[in-house]
Amino acid sequence: MAKRAKVIKADYLLKDKIGTGTIKEEVVDLCQAILDNNPFDFAPIAYQHLSELTTVIEQAKKHELTRDEATEKMTECVMQLKANAPMFGYDLVGKLANIMLSFLESISDIDDHAIDIVSAHHDTLHAIITKKMRGKGGEAGKQFETELKSACERYFKAKRKKESQ
């Protein structure tokens, strides 16, 4: 069953309130400094989203959710991690979450193999947060990224092979 895109008409209320034009360079620099020196601990937020993802994974394994519900709830959890992690210096978490979002948006069926990939992704993100691997994660980060992409590619290759039989 193909998903249909929902068209949302743009709301210009915020633009009307603040107007148009440029932002002073000093204001941009100040905002960037605040982001760069953010003392806030991202781990509790990340663990909350990872806990929610654990719940959804378990519900999906037990078939307590429809396939669409499972995909939607997994997407919501991963999207929150993708959106927030880079702001707190966890660029690798954001990058891996982006790959997972693409995977979740591309699958037509949340089968056991897809759940296994999401579960492995969860475990990886949990380890990254626990070890406080900020930034891009160096060589380990590259390997995590490569492995996640490879798992997704193997999944789609196996699906295509199964469908062609």
Per-residue pLDDT at 34: 81
Question: What is the domain count for the chain?
Answer: 1
Average pLDDT over residues 77-93: 94
Per-residue pLDDT at 2: 62
CATH of the domain at 82: 1.20.120.160
Taking CA atoms, 133 is separated from 70, 75, 127, 138, 143, in Å, by 29, 23, 9, 9, 14
Rounded percentage of the chain residues whose pLDDT exceeds 70: 98
pLDDT in tens, 135-149: 999 999 999 999 999
24 domain-assigned: no
On whether the CB atoms of residues 122 and 53 are closer than 8 A, the answer is yes
12 domain-assigned: no
27 domain-assigned: no
91 domain-assigned: yes
Domain that holds residue 139: 42-164
88 domain-assigned: yes
Residues with Cβ < 8 Å from 136, sequence gap 6 or more? 91, 92, 95, 142
Q: What is the pTM of this model?
A: 0.79
